[in-house]
Amino acid sequence: MQIGGATGPPRRGPRPEWLRIKLATPERYHDVRKLIDRLSLNTVCTEARCPNIYECWGEHGTATFMILGEICTRRCGFCAVTSGRPRPGVDGEEPARVAAAVAEMGLRHAVITSVDRDDLPDGGARHWAAVIRAVRERNPGCAVEVLTPDFRGVPDALDLVLAARPEVFSHNTETVPRLYRKARPGSRYERTLELLAEASRRRDDGEYAGRVKTGIMLGLSETPDEVRATMRDIRVAGVEVMTLGQYLQPTRQHLPVARFVTPEEFAEHKAYAAELGFAHCESGPLVRSSYHAHEHVPSVAG
C-alpha cells in the first residue's frame, strides 16, 4: 500500500480487516434516529459520519449531541461537518430539547459537543452553560461530558462552561503541531494546550471537580515520535484522560489517509500513556472522543 510522501497522496483503497464495521440497524437504532429527528437535534454521529454510529445507536442506545447548529465557522481538513456562515444567534429552546432527549434515552453519561461558532462574541459559551444546566436539572443522576471548541481564547468562556459543573471537560488536540496549519486552519496548537492547562489548573486548585480529557487522531502523516511528543505535551498540561483513534477520510474533498495505523501500534501508544501517568487512555483504530465514554471515565454523578 502506498502511504504518501514524495510520490503524492495515497490512493483510496480497501480498509484493513481491523477497520471493517458491522453495518447493522436494529430497532433501537431506528428509535434513536426518530428521537433525534422529533426533537430537531443534531448529533456528531451523523454530521461527522462517525463509524461507530451503528454500535452506539443500535447496541447501546447512545448518541453524542451536537449543539449550536450544524454549520461550523471553521474548515478543518479532516472534518465532515458543514462549514460556512451559521444562522445568526442561538436556539434558545435547544437546552430543553437536549435535556429531554437525555431523559428519554435514559442516559447515565451524556456527551455533548458543538460546532465552532466564532461568529458569537462568547464563542457560544453561555449557550454551552445553559445546555449543561438543563441536562443536569432534568437528569440529576446523569454525568455530563462536554467536548468544547477552543472559543478562540475568549475571556471568561471557560469560566462559564466550568461553572455549570460538567463531570468531564474535554477539548480535542486532534493532531500533532506540525500538521495544524493543514488540518486545523483557524486553530492553534498552543491555544489548545493553554485551554487544557487552564482547566487542569482549576481542577488541581479545587475550583473544578471534574476530569480533563483530550484526543488525537492518527493517520495524517504524523510520525510515532511526533505522537509521543504530543502526548508528553498533553500530560504536562495536566490532562488525565486521552483517546487515540484512526483518521478516516470522510469524502474525497478531505485530507487523505496517509496510512492505517495497526492495532499493535495503538497498543504501544496506550502503554506509553500509562508510563506518562494518564489516568486512562483509550487507544485503538475505531476509538473516537466519545466512544464508550461512560466506561472509561468514571461517573461522579449522584
For strand 168-170 and strand 211-218, is the pairing parallel, antiparallel, or unpaired?
parallel
What local confidence, expressed as pLDDT, does residue 6 receive?
33
| Residue (of 94, 122, 43, 36) closest to 288 by Cα position | 43
Question: In the chain, where does DSSP find H-type helix?
Answer: 27-38, 44-47, 53, 94-105, 125-138, 157-163, 180-183, 189-204, 224-236, 263-276, 293-296
What local confidence, expressed as pLDDT, does residue 219 receive?
97
| Partners of 213 in beta bridges | 170, 241
Query: Who's near 68: CB < 8 A, 6+ residues apart?
Result: 86, 90, 94, 114, 115, 117, 124, 127, 128
Domains along the chain with CATH numbers: 24-296 (3.20.20.70)
Give the mean model confidence (pLDDT) for residues 207-226. 96
Which of the pair, 42 or 116, is modelled with greater confidence?
116
| Residue (of 288, 300, 302, 296) closest to 50 by Cα position | 288
Give the mean model confidence (pLDDT) for residues 109-117. 92
Residue that the C-alpha cell 492495532 belongs to: 263
Using the predicted structure, report yes or no on whether residue 187 has a pLDDT greater than 50.
yes
Residue pLDDT, tens place only, 272-298: 999 999 999 999 998 887 766 666 555
Which of the pair, 144 or 50, is modelled with greater confidence?
144
Residue pLDDT, tens place only, 157-176: 999 999 999 999 999 999 99
* Spatial distance between the Cα atoms of 47 and 102, rounded to a whole number of angstroms: 19
Query: Who's near 37: CB < 8 A, 6+ residues apart?
Result: none
Residue pLDDT, tens place only, 229-249: 999 999 999 999 999 999 999
Using the predicted structure, report yes or no on whether residue 224 has a pLDDT greater than 50.
yes
Query: Who's near 137: CB < 8 A, 6+ residues apart?
Result: 99
